[in-house]
Chains A and B, each alone.
Chain A
Amino acid sequence: MQATTVRFQPYWITQKLKLDTNIITNNTSVLEISKFRCYISNIAFKKNNVVVWQEPNSYHLIDANDTSSYSIKLNMPATLIFDQIHFNIGIDSTTNVSGAMGGDLDPTKGMYWAWNSGYINFKLEGSSPLCTTHNKRFQYHIGGFSIPFNTLQQVDLPVHHTTNINIAIQLDQMVAQIDLEHQNSIMQPGRAAVEFSKKIAGIFRIKL
């Protein structure tokens, strides 16, 4: 066995994400991100599109409030040969209907909806002058697992055999796809959450 570390690092363009800090965006306006969390689950490695190893009980909360959550240690066979890493962004439907769970899935993590059972897969909050809301806030709580509003996203990225895999989460690319002026809040499962979720997978990229 060998410990491989997968590190998920949120970025704004080339800068590592800093919460509650002014960010000058492309269009020269100022934006702040106050909260960023997402679930990474079902981490696996593939060779020629076939799964060669998967992490058991694979549920990880990435939380910008706790940068130690960015690094995930995987105990996998040292001899493993793979060319892709696979993971889900969010929590699968079975886990969503399986009752109370501890660890990163504990409902104290602020990633569970009490009034419409289910995990929040991806949470992004902040402020932008483009938002006409109170304190110019935007809040995206993206979740929902029931058809037709399933927001779980699957990601496959090419990787070489290495002990450290760095994955960038390009939040600038997410914000660039959102109409902050007209849609500054998504707080429940539904069509808007599904549309948002489809844009999430693309912001996860291998960082060389």
Chain B
Amino acid sequence: MLIVISITIYGFSSIDSLIVIPLGWGKPNYDFTKNPLNKETVALGRKIFYDPILSRDSTISCSSCHLSYTAFTHVDHDLSHGINGKIGTRNAPALMNLAWSKSFMWDGAVNHLDMQALAPISHPAEMGNDIENIVAQLQHSASYPNLFKAAFGDTVINGARILKAIAQFELTLISANSKYDQVMRKEPGVHFSTQEENGLLIFRKSCASCHTEPLFTNQQFANNGLAMDTFLKDIGRMKITQNAQDSLCFKIPTLRNIEYSFPYMHDGRFKKLSDVLKHYTSDIQQSSTLSRQLQQPIILSSDQKVDLVAFLLTLTDKSFLYNPIFAYPQK
């Protein structure tokens, strides 16, 4: 029954039997043929995602910084803390619609969803662990060998299987049922208010070239005119490419579920959407790598700002945020 409803709402997908591709979203970037989803592996990935066994001292799980109820971001934390109270340098990004992502992390350091988990696992200010150690711990646990057998056919636990399982769970985190989506699908009885409608027009004129529908990101990197934090001194993507043109460029994040994914920006410097709009309308810092789209000032009246925020709130997808199959797995 659920499947039938999904098909009528979202359209049919032949990409993977467990993934429903929302209409008009295009083909995912993730190659499902190399890691076809199955229920057991998704369940295993979900268990690992919520298991602090991943961290050196068994205190931090993926969900410590990626809470399902806040679009898998670290609510109310500008910078996230890892083992031994260490503080990282960037804001934990929201996790959703990752099958369409072409790169991962604020600077695009990771080129494939499978490999993303290695970054927080090994970072000394996050989980401070290494994948070899995790393989050994899972091998010696009471429950994991059988779960790997259910997922992969035998009890072998290796790095690739752990990473593929986590990726499978993450691939299921699709948010495509916000009010915006329902209006776009012309679902009966769902309409934008006048404010939201105005906000959409402002959005399409001033924001959409980077935060492109339907993913609300064009997947590129850009310098959005933030002054460099003098303590963090984060040069963004240039650290990865060593190309001066990438200085201060960061991944353009999705705006889906933005109501819940505060604080905002790569270092979480803005607590409120009104702070974000103030930045884009009056605080842009000129520099040689400033995004082309921000070279001309964005001018919005206070009414227009209210309308734009009203539209952004239509990107909230409560059926995603409160979906029990994404939450902590109850025994």
A residues near B (Cβ < 8 Å) are 96-102, 105-108, 110, 112, 114-118, 146, 149, 190-191
B304 within 8 A of A: no
Could you list 19 examples of A-B contacts with CB < 8 Å?
A97-B111, A99-B35, A99-B114, A99-B115, A99-B164, A100-B115, A100-B161, A100-B163, A100-B167, A102-B158, A102-B159, A106-B159, A106-B160, A107-B159, A108-B135, A108-B159, A114-B121, A115-B123, A146-B241
Complex CA gap A97/B30 in Å reads: 11
Contacts of A108 in B (CB 8 A): 131-132, 135, 158-159
How far does the Cβ of A105 sit from chain B's closest Cβ, in whole Å? Answer: 8
With a cutoff of 8 Å between Cβ atoms, the chain A residues found around residue B233 in the complex are none
Which B residues touch A99, using CB under 8 A?
31, 34-35, 112-115, 163-164, 167
Residues of B within 8 Å of A191, CB to CB, are 242
3 smallest beta-carbon distances between A and B, as pairs? A99-B114, A100-B114, A114-B118
Closest-by-CB residue of B relative to A112 is B118
In this assembly, does B122 line the interface, its C-beta being within 8 Å of a C-beta of chain A?
yes
> CB-CB < 8 A to A101: which residues of B?
160
Cβ contacts under 8 Å, B241 to chain A: 146
Is B15 interfacial (CB 8 A cutoff)? Answer: no
The interface bits of chain B over 29-72 (1 if a CB of A lies within 8 angstroms of the residue's CB, else 0) are 00100110000000000000000000000000000000000000
Inter-subunit contact B159/A114 (CB<8 Å): no
C-alpha gap A112/B158 in the complex (Å) = 14
Extra contacts besides A108-B159, A114-B110, A115-B109 (4): CB < 8 Å: A97-B112, A99-B31, A107-B160, A116-B109
Q: Please determine whether B34 and A98 come into contact, CB atoms closer than 8 angstroms.
A: yes
Q: Least Cβ distance of A25 to chain B in Å?
A: 32
User: Is B240 part of the contact surface with A, judged by Cβ < 8 Å?
Assistant: yes
B119 within 8 A of A: yes
Residues of A within 8 A of B121 (CB): 114
Given contacts A99-B115, A106-B158, A107-B160, contact A117 B109 (CB under 8 A): yes
Q: Which residue of B has the minimal Cβ distance to A146?
A: B241
Shortest distance between the CB of B163 and any CB in chain A (Å): 4
Mask for B134-174, Cβ within 8 A of A = 1, else 0? Answer: 01000000000000000000000011110110010000000
Alpha-carbon distance A98/B118, docked complex (angstroms): 15
Contact indicator B111/A118 (Cβ below 8 Å): yes
Contact between chains at B122 and A115 (CB < 8 Å): yes
> B118's contact among A107, A146, A149, by CB below 8 Å, is which?
A107
Q: What 1/0 mask marks residues of chain B from 94 to 122 whose CB sits below 8 Å from any chain A CB? A: 00000000000000011111110011011
By a CB distance below 8 angstroms, the chain B residues around A106 are 158-160
CB distance from A85 to the nearest CB of B (A): 29
A96 to chain B, nearest CB (A): 7
* Docked pose: A75 CA to B33 CA in angstroms: 28
Check B161 against A102 for contact (C-beta < 8 Å): yes
Q: Let me know if A100 and B164 touch, CB within 8 A.
A: yes
Specify which chain B residues have a CB less than 8 angstroms from the CB of A118 in the assembled complex.
Answer: 111
Q: Which of chain A's residues have a CB closer than 8 A to the CB of B110?
A: 114, 117
In the complex, which residues of chain A have a beta carbon less than 8 angstroms from the beta carbon of B123?
114-115
Q: Residues 282-304 of chain B: 1 if any A CB is under 8 Å from the residue's CB, otherwise 0?
A: 00000000000000000000000
Which residues of chain A come closer than 8 Å to B111, judged between CB atoms?
Answer: 96-97, 117-118
Instruction: Please name the residue on chain A nearest to B163 by beta carbon.
Output: A100
Residue among A101, A106, A110, A114 with the highest chain B CB neighbour number at 10 A: A114
Q: How many Å lie between the Cα of A115 and that of B109 in the bound state?
A: 6
A107, B112: Cα distance in complex, Å? 13
With A98-B112, A100-B160, A100-B163 already in contact, the answer to whether A107 and B119 are too (CB < 8 A) is: no
On chain A, the residues within 8 Å of B164 by CB distance are: 99-100
Q: How far is the CA of A146 from the CA of B240 in the complex (A)?
A: 11
Most chain B beta-carbon contacts within 10 A, residue among A97, A101, A105, A118: A101
Contact among B131, B159, B242 for A190, CB-based, below 8 A: B242
Nearest CB in chain B: distance from A101 CB, A:
5
Q: Is the CB of B112 within 8 A of A117?
A: yes
Nearest A residue to B162, CB-CB: A100
Residue among A97, A112, A116, A191 with the highest chain B CB neighbour number at 10 A:
A116
